[in-house]
Amino acid sequence: MKKCIFCIVLLFSSISFFAQDFSNDFKNVEQKVIEWRRHFHKNPELSNREFNTAKKIAAHLKSLGIETQENVAKTGVVGILKGSKKGKVVALRADIDALPVTERNDLPFKSNVTSKYLGKDVGVMHACGHDTHIAILMGVAEVLAKNKKYIKGTVKFIFQPAEEGAPEGEEGGAELMVKEGVLKNPDVDAIFGLHIASGFDVGTISYKPGGIMAASQSFKIKVKGKQSHGSRPWTSIDPIMISAKIIDGLQTIVSREIDLTNEGAVITVGKIDSGVRSNIIPESAEMIGTIRTLDYGMQKQINDRMKEMVPAIAKSYRAEATIEIEKGYPITFNDVDLTQKVLPTLQRVAGTNNVKEIKAITGAEDFSFFQKEVPGFYFFLGGKTVGNDNPYPHHTPDFIIDEKGMQLGVETMTNLALDFLNN
C-alpha cells in the first residue's frame, strides 16, 4: 500500500513539475504569440492558397531545429520534434486558412486583403480565429523545442490548410492530409486540437466527450424554368419563386420530420444566384447551402428527403430541379477514454472551475477526419472580449477575440502533449 501511495505522489509531482518548470517559457513566448497572431490576422489567405502563411510557419519551426515538412496537402506544414527518449507519438493541430469576409472594425492590424472567391471579388479575413490557432501552436512548438529533454516520445505539429473547405474542384484540408499520410511515419497515437470561441469567457476551457461538433455537408440545387418578360409572368416558369418554395419546403424537413429530441439538425441555404435585371424573369436559379447533423441516421434521413423533395416541388410548378449533396465532414467525436484521461490536465492548467462540459454544437470541423483514424480530443478555448454580453459570431465581419485568451491555449496544448507522452 505504501508503495502505491508513493507512486501516486511521484506521478502528481511529475505532472506539477512540468507546469512549474515551463512557467518562464510560457511568459517569454506570450508576446510573440500575440505578434504572430496580429501578423496572420493582417495577412490572411484563403483555403489552399496559404502560401505566405505556410512560409512563416515553416521558417519558425526550422529556427527551432524542428524537422519540417512543407507543401503537405498543398500548403500545409508539419513539424516533427523528437524527445530525449523513445515513446509514443502525439499530434497537435492548428488550421491556417481564412474566410471570404470583409473585415469591419478599427483594429490596427485589420485585414485589407482582397481576393476572388466563386468568381467574385471579396475581402479576406480571419473571421473564425484560425490566426490565433496558428500563433498558439507556434508558441507551443517554441516551448517544447526548448525543453525537448523532458519529452519521452515525439510531437507532431500539424498546421493544416483548407479547414473551411477546399476551392471547388480541389482536394484539401484534413481529409487530404490523412490521405497523404500525415498520421504515419511516425504513427500518431493521439491528436489534440482547439478552437478559440468568441462566446466563451477568457480563461475557460469547454469540452464534451463523444460528439462535440456536427457533421457538415454542402449541397447545390439547380432549378430550370422558362424565361419571360417581367410583365408577363404567366408566360414564364419562374425559377426564383420556385426556389423560394424549395427553401420553405426544406425547412419543414427539420421542423416536421426530424426527431429533434434525439439530436439537433440544421438546413441552411447560404446563397442564391439568379437573374440579371428587374424586368426579366430568368430561366434558371442556383442555390448552395449546408446540412448539419449530430447523428448519422438523421443525416441519411435528411439527405434522402431532400433528394425526394427538391425535384418534386419543382415539378409541381412545371420546372425541373436537381440536387447534389457532398460527402462533407464527419461528426467531430472526442474519444471517450482519452477525454477522461486528459480531464485532470485541463483542470490543473485552467483550474477546475474553469473547465466546463457543454452540449454539442452544430458547427463543424474537419479535425473529425483525424479522429476517424486515431483517438482525438478537441476543445474550445475562451476568447470573449471583456464586457461584451453579445459577442459577434464567428464568420462575421465584426468577429473579434480577446488576445489574453491565447496564453491558456499555449499552456494547455503543451501540457496535454507532455502528460500524454510522459504519463
Q: Which residues are catalytic?
A: 329, 403
For 163-195, give the secondary structure using H, E and C. CCCCCCCCCCHHHHHHHCCCCCCCCCCEEEEEE
DSSP one-letter string for 346-398: HHHHH-GGGEEE---EEEE-TTHHHHTTS-EEEEEEEEEPTT-SSPPPTTSTT
Give the angle 26-31-34 at the CA atoms, nearest 5°: 110
d(CA 34, CA 417): 22
d(CA 88, CA 341): 15
Q: How many residues does the chain have?
A: 423
d(CA 167, CA 47): 7
Which are the contacts of 167, defined by CB distance < 8 A and separation ≥ 6? 46, 47, 48
Q: How many helices (H) and strands (E) would you count in the chain?
A: 10, 18
Cell numbers for 212: 462535440
Pairing of strands 190-201, 85-95: parallel
